[in-house]
């Protein structure tokens, strides 16, 4: 499987605001378990929809969110 996509905190918060990303609490246990098996580098906390494919369909995908930067 390809590496899990990592979003910045700002990218995740924007996607979450528009309903295209969220935390795993919104997903079923079987979905989370399957994604953990398929993506061993996934931290298991966040998801997003993929970019539209050639037919305009989007799919759930696991994502990692980069830690907040410390100033």
- DSSP track, 8-63: -HHHHHHHHHTTSEEEGGGS-HHHHHHHHHH-TT--SSEEEEPPP-TTS---EEEE
pLDDT tens, residue by residue, 57-70: 999 999 999 998 88
Q: Where are the domains of the chain?
A: 5-65
Task: Determine the pLDDT at residue 3.
Answer: 86
Task: Determine the pLDDT at residue 68.
Answer: 83
pLDDT tens, residue by residue, 9-31: 999 999 999 999 999 999 999 99
């Amino acid at each position: 499987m390809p590496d899990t996509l990592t979003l910045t905190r700002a990218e995740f918060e924007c996607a979450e605001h528009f309903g295209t990303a969220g935390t795993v609490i919104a997903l079923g246990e079987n979905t989370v378990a399957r994604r953990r098996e398929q993506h061993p580098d996934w931290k298991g906390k966040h998801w997003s929809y993929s970019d539209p494919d050639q037919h305009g369909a989007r799919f759930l995908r696991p994502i990692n969110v980069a830690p907040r930067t410390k100033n």
